[in-house]
Amino acid sequence: MSKQLAVGKKLLFVVSGPSGVGKSTLCQNILETVPDIRLSVSYTTRKPRANESEGKEYRFISQEEFEEKKAVHAFAEWAEVHGHLYGTPWSELEQNGQQFQSDILLDIDVQGAHQVMSTLKRAVSVFVLPPSLEVLWQRLSGRATDAPEEQQRRFQKAQDEMKHYPEYQYTIRNVNLEQAIWELRAVIMAERVRTVHLDPAQVFR
């Protein structure tokens, strides 16, 4: 994908890591506690969970609709995760070629994050690690809905994904949720006050 995005002075934060490390809980907390940041709402072909609503966590579409969007290059990135398709539409990152008025948070898998980091060089990347492999296994094997082979497959996939952590600018180990939230907040705040983001015309205002 060669499309370049006019992100301007607004920041794009990519939060990634294996499934089950608590990315969405972390991101949800950031949305509630940090001003001027919004979540990019992805399209997915998976069915909504009981607590999810259309347009809030995701936009739920059929496989055919997803393929149609892919064909017209509607996605900045997309990936298949555990048998379902997920994609970030360009429309979440820009509007008629104009940037949005707030920073953007992307909660996406490792394959999608890789695509975003190579397309949008200005993206700030954050990898979330589990407390340990043992705890990750406990979480995955505790999901009664998954068959033992599926649990094993997800555990292997998570370990393969964890090998990608060096490609990210920041790494947060989610041992304690409060601490991890503070760390992600600190990344966002520090990135916001980087001198390079300051408009020189605003210095002596």
Within residues 68-87, the interface with ligand 5GP by CB under 6 A covers 77, 79, 81, 86-87
Instruction: Note whether 28 binds ligand 5GP by CB under 6 A.
Output: no
Shortest-Cβ-distance residue relative to ligand 5GP: 112
Nearer to ligand 5GP, 22 or 187 (CB): 22
Question: What is d(CA 201, CA 203) in angstroms, rounded to the nearest whole number?
Answer: 6
Report the nearest approach of ligand 5GP to the CB of residue 30 (Å): 14
CA distances to 139, 153, 182, 188 from 143, in Å: 7, 13, 28, 32
Closest approach, Cβ 15 to ligand 5GP, in A, equals 8
- CA-CA distance, 120 to 114, in Å (whole number)? 10
46/69 with CB nearer ligand 5GP? 46
Show the site string, 35-64: x = touches ligand 5GP by CB under 6 A, - = not: -------x---x------------------
Interaction with ligand 5GP in 124-163: which residues (CB under 6 A)? none
Question: Distance between CA 15 and CA 44 in Å, rounded?
Answer: 18
Question: Which one, 42 or 174, has the nearer CB to ligand 5GP?
Answer: 42
3-state secondary structure of 34: coil
DSSP string, 56-98: TTEEE--HHHHHHHHHTT-EEEEEEETTEEEEEEHHHH-BTTB
Asked if residue 92 binds ligand 5GP (CB under 6 A), the reply is no
